[in-house]
Structure 1
Amino acid sequence: MPHDLPKAYDPTAIEDHWAEYWVRENLFAQPTPELDAETGDPFTILLPPPNVTGRLHMGHMLNQTEMDILTRWHRMKGDPTLWLPGTDHAGIATQMMVERQVASEGTSRQALGREKFLERVWCWRKQYGGAILEQMKRLGASVDWQREYFTMDANLSVAVREAFVRLHEQGLIYRGAYVVNWCPSCQTAISDLEVIHEEVLGSLWEIRYPVAGPDGKATGEFLTIATTRPETLLGDVAVAIHPEDERYLHLHGKKLLLPLMNREIPIVLDDWVSRDFGTGAVKVTPAHDPNDFALGQRHDLPSINIMDDTAHINEAGGVYAGLSRFAARKRILEDLEAQGLLGKIHDHKLSIGRCERSKDVIEPRLSTQWFIKIQPLADRAIQAVEEGHIRFTPEQYKKTYLNWMTNIHDWCISRQLWWGHRIPAWHCADCHKITVEREDPTACAHCGGPLITQETDVLDTWFSSGLLPVSVFGWPFTDNKPSIDFSTFYPTSLLVTGFDILFFWVARMIMLGCWFALDVPMADGSKRELKDAVPFKDVYIHALVRDANREKMSKTKGNVIDPIEIVKQYGTDAVRFTLASMASPGTDIAFNVARTEGYRAFANKIWNAARLVFMNVDRAAEVGIVVDPAALGGMPDVSEDAPLEARWIVAEFHKTAVEVNQSLANYRYDDAANTIYQFFWGSFCDWYLEIVKLRLDFSENTDKAKTQAALTTLLSVFEASLRLLSPFMPFITEEIWQTVYEGNPPVKSIALTRYPQAGDGPADATSQAEMDLLQSLIVEIRTLRKEIGVEEKAVTPIELRIDTHSGAAIQQNAIIVERLARVTEIRPVEKISAGLAKHHTPAFDVAVIYEREIDVPAERERLTKDIAKYEKGLAAAERQLGNQSFLEKAPANIVEGLKKQESETRQLLEKARAALAALPSE
């Protein structure tokens, strides 16, 4: 049966088919293997779980392309390979989505109530939440879809609860009132990592606080403070000065009258105060600034919270109650000015924190939250990296990680949301103590009272996702006996992720993984060491994908590139190959559609090469010449007496395989992709395919054994090249590879075949050197032909001066030179004949022997026209250069350009006149 491959390469015609086939056949499912000495270490990788609200963007596609290349490579190497997919419930983002939806219906979360609202969220997740995973399936991600997880799954929720309870039992979780980052739009606390800082030009307002006398009345003296947030003065409880500030020594022990609020506040002395900032006097608002909170604790000051959850002034703000914080600021400044208490106003650069999701301005706010005492977890996580149990690529991120971990603060893990893992803590109405349990209690664990209510807060999303390396493999375990999955696949091999979640996720996985896994015994019951408790052994931090001008993509700039649209236009394989070819560790990718167009052409080149190969295979079959299937599926091989091009292409393939495997082992996707590209387009298509045509003779008088040997080499190298390319361009290689076997392949997919391995075959230095010589000669002949104007279809003899040994190699393969360079005869000479145009190289001299018949009248006419044109141009240039006024006024670069043009025109004129004079007379 002929190999049926359409004439034109159309990625849309094949990609949907194979994407659906891979999922339907569960080709990438990885059962838990029975490990033995021959099995080798499994390759396990977790997909950084995209938000359930997400859609694929270029960063995702880069991340998933890199993971898929490595996963397919390991699978084809024969390693037990597991890539685990899943999605994150994304507490804040998902709740915002559903709240907007219910608001559009004229209702609200509060009106629905917690239970009804959560039902709506689950419905939303069922309808929309799998979009990004469906996109992954369409793009061919080779994950084990049978193991897909969601962070709110029942088994993962058990792990989250166990982790919370265990940390609480260990005294590492506590509840307390501290100043946190509060988002008024999301109405929840968020971490420092979820705050985006931007520098803006604001104001520094000076406010005059009256000094109070012993009778509590104003003395007429003022202490001036400077602030960027005048609205918070409503919650001031003191003003602090440096104890050694000579300007204010006389105010020690005095009190002030808080403007607008008519209450006394003390002056406190604290070394923390900077004498150089503002006026050297600092208002103290412990409920709305973390530094003020710390100062307040040192001086036993009260805290007055003046804002509600939406950043509106509450009843503690007196007459300003009900105003938004910024409306209150405006009114307060007006009232201060009216009372003569507003001083100078200075322009002041300051950093504004905004919520990463809502983009609202963050309000530091005193709030009762749940925290993890992070230091013991951080110490173990630092040790794991310092001892080399976890390696970072690029290595610079090791230092970044260690710096952050060394200065880490306690982690606020509570969020004022309804969507998420509800904190398993119950408050007692009788004794006011808290009960934390693995199972829902019916009574207070302290007093036995039945009046208990569960904490309304949920856990930070990153708490549950930080547990994924252990929870996806079944932790916690009954009787602390690890599951087979855990013993097999933990620690995972690699995490591929972006810098933006190095602290959000990577650091937290390391902390929680090391903390909980260290207590899990090994499969044989022995104690687990730290090297086996880490969640992964390697972390590869990929770069950002920027636009072609190396600017960060943003909707505001309008330079966002939608990968799905690019895929529709050029095909998945071309986009994947573009990203891989530019993915160098530590270097951002300037994504240029022109590169994708080029790799779309590469895919087309592969397709056309396949059609050429199959055409010859089918022609051979017609005369009874077939390739033994046993020659396919491994590393190509040839006999020592095979033709040069056969020995050379096999040696080139072995060399390429070595380099590609080494590059992938070092995360050099760019080097691997470019090595394959150069081999396939250059060595295989541009050279080998053209040469091998000489050996494929299907006439009745052919030497069938030699033709079969040539065809076998051709097909075996081509099939192996498809396997080499498959992790990078899985769709086109699957389509063509299946066609190689005419729909009856030895395994279900090229992804399940053997990857060409480094070191499977020796290099052939002799054949490579001889082919280099032939290629160099052919290139020089082709260049010479163009220089002297040889017609494209004309064939000519050449003269060749070369040493005896190299000359023998040329003569033995003269047919290659003759066919590829359109040469009729190779004439060995001691010296190139005089009068011939020649090229000189260190290895040889070569000249093309060619006399072109000239139409004298036509040539005389052409040269006469050229001379007239050059004379006119030269006269114009001389006229301008002779104009002194022009030379004085014209820019220097214009004058220099004109002089250069004049010189070049003069040379062309002289050549044309000489050529005309050399023509024979009529």
Structure 2
Amino acid sequence: MELAKSFEPQNIESHWYPFWESQGYFQPSMDLAREAFCIQLPPPNVTGTLHMGHAFNQTIMDGLTRYHRMRGDNTLWLPGTDHAGIATQIVVERQLDAQGISRHELGRPAFLEKVWEWKKESGDTITSQMRRMGSSVDWSREYFTMDDKMSTAVVEAFVRLFEEGLIYRGKRLSNWDAKLGTAVSDLEVISEEENGHMWHIKYPVVGSDEFITVATTRPETLLGDVAVAIAPDDERFLHLVGKMVELPLTGRQIPVIADEYVDKAFGTGFVKITPAHDFNDYQVGKRHNTQLINVMSLQATILAKAQVFSFEGASLGSVELPAAYAGMTTAEARKAMLADLDAQGLLLDTKPHKLMVPRGDRTGTVIEPLLTDQWFMAMSKPAADGTSITEKALEAVHSGEVQFVPNDWVNTYNSWLNNIQDWCISRQLWWGHQIPAWYDEDGQVYVARTEDEAIAKAGGKSVTRDNDVLDTWFSSALVPFSSHGWPNETPDLKAFLPSSVLVTGYDIIFFWVARMIMMTKHFTGKVPFKHVYIHGLVRDAEGQKMSKSEGNVLDPVDLIDGIALEPLLEKRTTGLRRPENAPKVAAKTAKEFPEGIPAYGVDALRFTFASLASLGRSINFDQKRCDGYRNFCNKIWNATRFVMMNVVDKDCGLEDGAELEYSFADEWIISRLQETETTITTALDTFRFDLAAQAIYEFTWNEYCDWYIELAKVQTQHGTEPQQRAARRTLIRVLETILRLIHPIMPFISEEIWQTVAPLAGKKDTESLMMAAWPVADASKIKPEAVAAITELKAIAFAARNLRGEMGLSPALKVPMFVEGGPELQKYAKYLLPLVKLSEVNIVAKLPEGDAPVAVAGTTRLMLKVEIDKAAETARLNKEIGKTSDALEKLVAKLEKPGYTEKAPAHLVEKDKAQVIELHDKLHSLNVQVDKLK
């Protein structure tokens, strides 16, 4: 193949991905004799589009996958998408709303047909975008969490857990989204600080003129109060414990209790206890065996009669509520109740108060803690083997079977599991895995794999299936083994469980990571993965969270393809949570991207992500890095074109027995290549993509392109035939190895160039770079003396270049240089000529007398012999003398400061003293040069 004149990423990307996929390169070898490497894609929502978090996460996963594939491992990156119960149902319901149709009018079967139609039409967006990112997943194994294979596993897991007594149905407190009409998980609740109020309300003490003052931010829930609590050590109010107070507006009497939950220093010292409408109060009520009084309907309106339950879920009847509030929303009831409390002289004070308001992330509706009948999974109950699933999950990490990277996330994991509550696994939705439970006319429940099995268990009676579906996280927790065909014993299950590593953000350690470990350990006896690599979350350049409301979202596809300013403005200002912020967002966007976003291509974007992949919690994405790494792509491209001009149709010494004479420059770059291979391999093995990217960049740009190519030019132009042959071989073989090293991070440019370079480098055993062998370092090729020689050559070149700059010499002017030293320096002469733009290099025992300025490189002194402007040079030297004198004075003063040498670390004191000597010597040398000019 002939390499194009310029790097055009779009053309390359559109060619290579279809080729890779069509050739089956993404599929594992299934050679069980090889080391297995498997990685599961955290299944993105089928409703989703690729965002920066996905793009970052998938860069890491694809990098690991390509690396292990090149190492010859039996490699599988398994893709899938999640049915995303709530998100998907909302999307389709909105489509129906636009047509004036509700899902209830349509009916469940017809509604589900609509969802499947939408999934077929729009559900593959994110997978096509993954292809754009170069993700080398095995699409032939792609799953959807609602497909037949996955659904079978979900039903089997539910039935087994129920039969083991680990799943039960009960009335418990859950997060209730009244707009959706379903319980939601903690992950689907966003608590945001809002301006509110703290109301101080009088609760009269029964049988006395005394009253207590309760402070609350939710006065509408007082209808369900069952007690008022104080701190056990609050001596101010201990005399009230056991007494009754009258609950305002209701006429009910409730007790005063003492509980550790109360902070006596906060508020009034009294806390109303409403266990049916507050999670903390629920725990207090449970400890004191109170009743649970539910005052709200599923629509979050006030009931006419409150429902009363025990903590075991038994109905204890009902309690009449004030008729005036029946049917009111919580906001309406709050307003009316406060007015009534004020009229009765029971509202003492209203104070502004900042509070965290929980809202549904999909609807924005205030989430109400509500008692509902739900299915739960027992997290601490011993299973048949005597160990709870929580204990199994804790032991898996404690034993080292599962290791977190970085390890400090273990504390977060353990803390959640040690304080875990039973898991509410049911949702009042239509889209999802319908719970495999049926009820007869008497309400008796039968959990079964099929309806026929349920009827058989019911003795032939007719049964009705439970309308609820399972929490999406339930099916997601099974993915490590259900995606491989469990409950069947499949070759994939044998080969790829446990997988090698899970790559994910820290925000779902609780909701997904821990639950996968629980479920996989319980059902298979194995851990789901050996490592959990927790990466940070992608933020903008200023460290702010990327959000639509802030208007700072970046679309990775826009960074790949580029986008003009006007479309970018439209994307960022459309659909803002606060539309009034649109002008501010537009102004900020126009300032940040005055000409829009240029097209960077996939490779530059991926390299940017890799360079940012440290072990921190946040990744501040700066678009300027993309600029730099697009330049890096161009650098590699142009360097390759130069190499091609020097090796095509020339003898590169690849034949057996070819006479080769390697220079110290060849041996140096080969040595550095071995060291770089080791560094990159270690970095990838330890998930340090930032260190791998740094090593690739420094070696390729700084050492190969900026230094070795320049040195090789000298050899190919002026060397003997064996020297030229060795230089060409080194040029092409090192370049070919660089391409293999960068491939996991930059797959497209590396493949395109490799197709041209590989045949010239003698690599003809594979059609694609992604199937080529990973470079393995050879310590015998490291030549310390060659490395030392280049270090010395660089020092002399840098010193001479600096001297040229200080003397104000034109880059076009070639001047002679004298270098003071022995004949061993002669080997540098031919390289210094082009590197420093010299007319000649003279190695002398002593520099010639004269007034030319002198530079020092280590212990080597050098001089550029050129007619100079004495006045200008004297002025330059005097300026340098002044700067050096100032630096010397400051350092001496620092050392003479009382106590410094005794208190400061010894190594710093020694460093300062050495610098004083160095500055003295420099000052002496400068003064000598000035004297020569007189």
Q: TM-score range by the shorter chain?
A: 0.7 to 0.9
Which residue number corresponds to residue 7 of structure 1? 5
Which residue number corresponds to residue 499 of structure 2? 492
Change (3 A) 1:452 1:642: same
Is residue 752 of structure 2 the alignment partner of residue 726 of structure 1?
no
- Work out which of the two has the higher radius of gyration on C-alpha atoms and give 1 or 2: 1
The SS at the match of 2:276 is helix
Is residue 141 of structure 2 the alignment partner of residue 147 of structure 1?
yes
Once residues 443 and 496 of structure 1 are traced to their aligned partners in structure 2, the CA distance between those partners, rounded to angstroms, is: 40
Which residue number corresponds to residue 831 of structure 1? 846
Which residue number corresponds to residue 97 of structure 1? 91
Change (3 A) 1:559 1:62: same
Change (3 A) 1:427 1:853: same
Which residue number corresponds to residue 882 of structure 2? none
Is residue 276 of structure 2 the alignment partner of residue 287 of structure 1?
yes
8 Å contact kept, 1:14–1:735: yes
Once residues 813 and 141 of structure 2 are traced to their aligned partners in structure 1, the CA distance between those partners, rounded to angstroms, is: 64
1:666-690: per-residue Cα shift (whole Å, max 9, x none)? 2111111111111111111111112
1:562 maps to amino acid: D
8 Å contact kept, 2:244–2:256: no
Is residue 570 of structure 2 the alignment partner of residue 550 of structure 1?
no
Which residue number corresponds to residue 170 of structure 2? 176
| Residue of structure 2 aligned with 1:504, choices 500, 511, 523 | 511
Counterparts of 1:327-476 in structure 2, within 5 Å, are: 327-375=332-380, 376-430=388-442, 432-441=443-452, 444=455, 448=459, 450-476=461-487
Deviation at 1:310, TM superposition (A): 2.7
| Residue of structure 1 aligned with 2:116, choices 106, 116, 122 | 122
Is residue 207 of structure 2 the alignment partner of residue 195 of structure 1?
no
Is residue 769 of structure 2 the alignment partner of residue 771 of structure 1?
no
Deviation at 1:24, TM superposition (A): 2.5
Is residue 782 of structure 2 the alignment partner of residue 782 of structure 1?
no
Counterparts of 1:729-808 in structure 2, within 5 Å, are: 729-740=746-757, 746-759=765-778, 761-802=780-821, 804=822, 807-808=823-824
Which residue number corresponds to residue 811 of structure 1? 826
8 Å contact kept, 1:243–1:271: yes
1:784-826: per-residue Cα shift (whole Å, max 9, x none)? 1222122222222111112x3xx41x31342111222222332
Change (3 A) 1:292 1:668: closer
Change (3 A) 1:221 1:846: closer
Once residues 78 and 39 of structure 2 are traced to their aligned partners in structure 1, the CA distance between those partners, rounded to angstroms, is: 6
TM-score by length of 2: 0.82
Once residues 234 and 867 of structure 2 are traced to their aligned partners in structure 1, the CA distance between those partners, rounded to angstroms, is: 99
Once residues 345 and 639 of structure 1 are traced to their aligned partners in structure 2, the CA distance between those partners, rounded to angstroms, is: 94
1:205-244: per-residue Cα shift (whole Å, max 9, x none)? 222345667xxxxx87655433221111233345556788
Deviation at 1:373, TM superposition (A): 0.8
| Residue of structure 2 aligned with 1:265, choices 245, 250, 253 | 253
Once residues 235 and 853 of structure 1 are traced to their aligned partners in structure 2, the CA distance between those partners, rounded to angstroms, is: 95
8 Å contact kept, 1:20–1:138: no
Change (3 A) 1:491 1:639: farther
Which residue number corresponds to residue 232 of structure 1? 221
Greater shift, 710-719 or 273-282, is seen at 273-282
Deviation at 1:344, TM superposition (A): 2.1
Deviation at 1:7, TM superposition (A): 1.4
Change (3 A) 1:693 1:829: closer
Once residues 283 and 675 of structure 1 are traced to their aligned partners in structure 2, the CA distance between those partners, rounded to angstroms, is: 61
The SS at the match of 2:781 is coil
Which residue number corresponds to residue 47 of structure 1? 41
Deviation at 1:341, TM superposition (A): 2.5
Once residues 792 and 218 of structure 2 are traced to their aligned partners in structure 1, the CA distance between those partners, rounded to angstroms, is: 77
Which residue number corresponds to residue 87 of structure 1? 81
Deviation at 1:752, TM superposition (A): 0.5
Once residues 329 and 272 of structure 1 are traced to their aligned partners in structure 2, the CA distance between those partners, rounded to angstroms, is: 29
| Residue of structure 1 aligned with 2:694, choices 674, 677, 680 | 674
| Residue of structure 2 aligned with 1:601, choices 596, 618, 631 | 631
8 Å contact kept, 1:179–1:364: yes
Greater shift, 732-741 or 447-456, is seen at 447-456
Change (3 A) 1:629 1:308: farther
Deviation at 1:333, TM superposition (A): 0.8
2:134 maps to amino acid: G
1:474 maps to amino acid: G
Deviation at 1:253, TM superposition (A): 6.8
The SS at the match of 2:833 is helix
Which residue number corresponds to residue 314 of structure 1? 303
1:6-31: per-residue Cα shift (whole Å, max 9, x none)? 21211122112212222232221114
What 5-or-longer segments of structure 2 have no aligned partner?
Answer: 306-320, 381-387, 562-598, 876-929
Change (3 A) 1:80 1:166: same
8 Å contact kept, 1:257–1:265: yes
1:28-75: per-residue Cα shift (whole Å, max 9, x none)? 111422x23xx2x21110011111111111111111111111111111
Once residues 402 and 240 of structure 2 are traced to their aligned partners in structure 1, the CA distance between those partners, rounded to angstroms, is: 57
Once residues 237 and 695 of structure 2 are traced to their aligned partners in structure 1, the CA distance between those partners, rounded to angstroms, is: 73
Once residues 159 and 233 of structure 1 are traced to their aligned partners in structure 2, the CA distance between those partners, rounded to angstroms, is: 45
Which residue number corresponds to residue 67 of structure 1? 61
Which residue number corresponds to residue 109 of structure 1? 103
Change (3 A) 1:270 1:728: same
The SS at the match of 1:800 is strand
Change (3 A) 1:589 1:257: closer
Change (3 A) 1:718 1:252: closer
Once residues 705 and 833 of structure 2 are traced to their aligned partners in structure 1, the CA distance between those partners, rounded to angstroms, is: 18
Change (3 A) 1:281 1:852: closer
Is residue 17 of structure 2 the alignment partner of residue 19 of structure 1?
yes
Q: How many residues align?
A: 814
1:136-192: per-residue Cα shift (whole Å, max 9, x none)? 011101111111111111111111111111111111111111111112222211223
Please provide the CA RMSD for this pair.
2.9
Which residue number corresponds to residue 665 of structure 1? 685
Which residue number corresponds to residue 647 of structure 2? 617
2:20 maps to amino acid: W
Change (3 A) 1:68 1:447: closer
The SS at the match of 1:695 is helix
| Residue of structure 2 aligned with 1:559, choices 546, 552, 563 | 552
8 Å contact kept, 1:253–1:266: no
1:266 maps to amino acid: I
Is residue 28 of structure 2 the alignment partner of residue 30 of structure 1?
yes
Once residues 108 and 296 of structure 2 are traced to their aligned partners in structure 1, the CA distance between those partners, rounded to angstroms, is: 24
The SS at the match of 1:714 is helix
- Percent identity over the alignment is 47
Which residue number corresponds to residue 675 of structure 2? 655
The SS at the match of 1:140 is coil
Once residues 707 and 276 of structure 1 are traced to their aligned partners in structure 2, the CA distance between those partners, rounded to angstroms, is: 83
TM-score by length of 1: 0.83
1:844 maps to amino acid: T
Once residues 491 and 443 of structure 1 are traced to their aligned partners in structure 2, the CA distance between those partners, rounded to angstroms, is: 34
